[in-house]
Amino acid sequence: MRNAKSAGLLAVCLLSVPALGACAKSAAAPESDPPAVVETVPGSDVKTVQLTDDAAQAAGISTAPVTQASAPGQLRIPYSAVMYYLDGSTWTYQVQAKNTFRRVPIRVQSISGQVATLTAGPPVGSQVVTVGAPEVLGAELEISGEQ
């Protein structure tokens, strides 16, 4: 059973996503390989989510690099890569390998237009998910899209 925070986060994310079920198999669909494999990183509560090529395409996954902001110690990512948790914490999905993602906490200093300036986050040059993060979250929480 999922905890209330996970369910609430999912509800918040799903409100803006018209077709989260794109990555989930239908109850009427024949048995096949799952659209995602979720694995816990040993020694932590962090998980990686690996989508099949079809699931990543259905989710419309797009990424962008983390860049250095003008001030030392600050990073920049597209605002679309910022995800909010119910408790106000922020995070993003960092690309680990092809179609493989890990949720990473970030600290947002400011938002200007479509750019978020961070004081903590993934390293410069790493890729973050800008489109499809709610679908990756659904896969991570093992939500079928029919719940």
- Predicted pLDDT of residue 146: 59
Q: Which of 13-27, 111-125, 129-143 has the lowest mean pLDDT?
A: 13-27
Q: Which of 86-90, 97-101, 135-139 has the lowest mean pLDDT?
A: 86-90
User: Across the chain, where does the E strand assignment appear?
Assistant: 36-40, 47-51, 62-65, 67-68, 75-78, 83-84, 90-97, 100-112, 115-120, 127-131
Q: Is residue 146 part of a domain?
A: no
Residue 18 is part of a domain; what is its CATH number? 2.40.420.20
Section 98-106 average pLDDT: 96
Section 60-88 average pLDDT: 94
- Predicted pLDDT of residue 31: 61
pTM exceeds 0.85: no
Section 70-90 average pLDDT: 93
**Higher-scoring residue by pLDDT: 68, 8:** 68
Virtual torsion, Cα 29, 40, 122, 139, nearest 10 deg: 20
| CB 106 within 8 Å of CB 90 | yes
DSSP 79: G
Q: Is residue 121 part of a domain?
A: yes
Q: Is residue 88 part of a domain?
A: yes
Span 27-59, pLDDT tens digits:
444 567 789 999 998 888 889 999 999 999 999
Structural domain span for residue 132: 4-140
Q: Is residue 59 part of a domain?
A: yes
- Predicted pLDDT of residue 30: 54
Section 17-28 average pLDDT: 43
Q: Is residue 119 part of a domain?
A: yes
Return d(Cα 84, Cα 51) in angstroms, integer.
Answer: 22
Q: Is residue 147 part of a domain?
A: no
Return d(Cα 118, Cα 143) in angstroms, integer.
Answer: 29
> What tokens appear for 39 in the block?
């694995």
Span 129-146, pLDDT tens digits:
999 999 999 898 888 765
Whether the CA torsion 67, 139, 59, 88 is positive or negative: it is negative
In single-letter form, the type of residue at position 49 comes to V
Q: Is residue 145 part of a domain?
A: no
Confidence of residue 85 (pLDDT cuts 50, 70, 90): confident
Instruction: Count how many domains the chain has.
Output: 1
Q: Is residue 9 part of a domain?
A: yes
| CB 76 within 8 Å of CB 68 | yes
> What tokens appear for 94 in the block?
């960092």
Return d(Cα 112, Cα 35) in angstroms, integer.
Answer: 35
